[in-house]
Amino acid sequence: MERLINIDRRIIFVFIFFGTLVPLLYPTPFPIEPSKEVRSTYEEFERVAKLNDPAVLLSYSYGASTEPEIQPMVVAILRHCFANDIKVVGICLWPEASGLAQPAMEAIAAEYGKTYGEDYAFMGYKPGLQAVIINMGQNFHDAFPKDTRGTPVGEIALTSNINSLTDFDFIFDFASGDSIEYWWIPYGKREVPFAGGCTAVMAPDLYPFLQSGQLKGLLGGLVGAAEYEALIDHPESATAGMSAQSITHLIIIAFILFGNLAYFATRRGA
C-alpha cells in the first residue's frame, strides 16, 4: 500500500495524457447545460442587439499562455455580435493580445460579410493598464487617437461618434490577469453594463462581483466558452474539448479517492 501512495507522478501524467488524447480522437458528446452566469452574458448581448445602432467594446486582456481557454470565448462572442449586427470596437490592454484578437476579429467579420470601419474597428494595444480605462472614460479619442491601420478614430464611421465609455451599450473583457477585478470593475463606468470572460483559475475570485451586479455575466474557462457555443448553437473548439475535460476530471477524481483510501488504509494498519 505504501508503494501505491508513493506512486510515480509520471504514471498520473500518462493517464492524463491518454485521458485527453483518446476523447479528442474519438469524441463522445457530453451534455452541455449553460450556467446562469453564461446565460446572463448571452442575454446582455441579446438585449444590446435590440437597441438602435448597438455598439459594444471588446477589451482583450489575454496572451498566448491562456489562448486555449480564452480564444474560443473570443470567437463565440464575435460570432454572436456579428450575427446580430452588433458593432464591435476592439482594444487590447495586454501587449500579446493584438496578435491573437485581430486575426480572430478579421476572420469572423469576413465570415459574416462585415465591413471594417462600419461594423467593426480594432484599436490595438495601449500601455497603461487601468490608466487606459480612466482615459477612455474621459475621452475615447484621446486614449486611442488611431486604429491599428493608422486611421484617426474621428475618421472611422464606427468610432467617430464614440466620445467616451458611456457611448458603448455594453463592455466585455477577455481576461487572463487583473483586468476584470482590478482595472475594469473599479475604474470602468458603472452606468455601462459590464461582463467578462476569464481563465478557470480566476473564476472563483470573480463570483462575488456577480452577486453585487458589478458583473452582468461571467464566462469561466473553457467550459464557459463551451456553454456559450451551446447558446449560440455553434459548437466549435471549446465544445470539442469538453469530453476530454470531463474524462480527465474523472481520472483526477479517481486518483484523489484512491489516494485518500490508500492513506486511510495505511493509517489503520499502523
Partner 1 sequence: MTRENNLFLGFVGLFALVNVFLFTTGKLPADWTGAGTMLAAGLTLALYSFLYRDNPLFKFAEHVFVGVSAAYIFGITWYQSLYGEIVVRLFGIGDDGNSGNHLLLVVPTILGLLMLTRFSQKIGWLSRIAFAFFVGVGAGFTIPRYISAFLIEQMEPTMRALEWSADGFNAILILIGVVAVLVYFLFSVEHTGAVGKISKVGIWFLMISFGASFGYTIMGRLSLLIGRIRFLLDDWLHLM
Contacting positions for partner 1 (CB under 8 A): 10, 13, 16-17, 20-21, 24-25, 65-69, 95-96, 98, 124-127, 130, 134, 145-146, 150, 152, 155, 185-187, 199-201, 203-205, 208, 211-214, 220-223, 237, 240-241, 244-245, 248-249, 252
Which of 223, 259, 163, 188 minimizes the C-alpha distance to 33?
223
Minimum Å gap between C-beta 52 and partner 1 is: 30
Using alpha carbons only, what angle is made at residue 40 by residues 222 and 121, rounded to the nearest 5 degrees?
Answer: 75
Minimum Å gap between C-beta 245 and partner 1 is: 6
Minimum Å gap between C-beta 211 and partner 1 is: 4
Q: Which residue has the cell 460570432?
A: 79
How far is the C-alpha of 112 from the C-alpha of 93, rounded, in Å?
Answer: 26
Minimum Å gap between C-beta 115 and partner 1 is: 22
User: CA separation (Å) from 260 to 1, 53, 246, 251, 257?
Assistant: 12, 58, 21, 14, 5
Q: Which of 263/266 has CB closer to partner 1?
A: 263
* Distant-in-sequence, close-in-space partners of 99: CB < 8 Å, separation ≥ 6: none
Q: Which of 73/81 has CB closer to partner 1?
A: 73
Q: Which of 81/229 has CB closer to partner 1?
A: 229
- Report the DSSP pairing between strands 120-125 and 87-92: parallel
Minimum Å gap between C-beta 13 and partner 1 is: 5
Helix (H) or strand (E) holding 78: helix 67-83
The 10 Å Cβ neighbour count of residue 118 is 11
Q: Which of 120/184 has CB closer to partner 1?
A: 184
Q: Which of 54/72 has CB closer to partner 1?
A: 72
Q: Which of 81/156 has CB closer to partner 1?
A: 156
Question: How many CA atoms within 13 Å lie on the side-chain side of 242?
Answer: 21
Q: Which of 134/232 has CB closer to partner 1?
A: 134
Minimum Å gap between C-beta 253 and partner 1 is: 10
- Helices 67-83 and 221-231 cross at an angle (nearest 10°) of 20
Which of 31, 44, 63 minimizes the C-alpha distance to 219?
44
Minimum Å gap between C-beta 43 and partner 1 is: 17
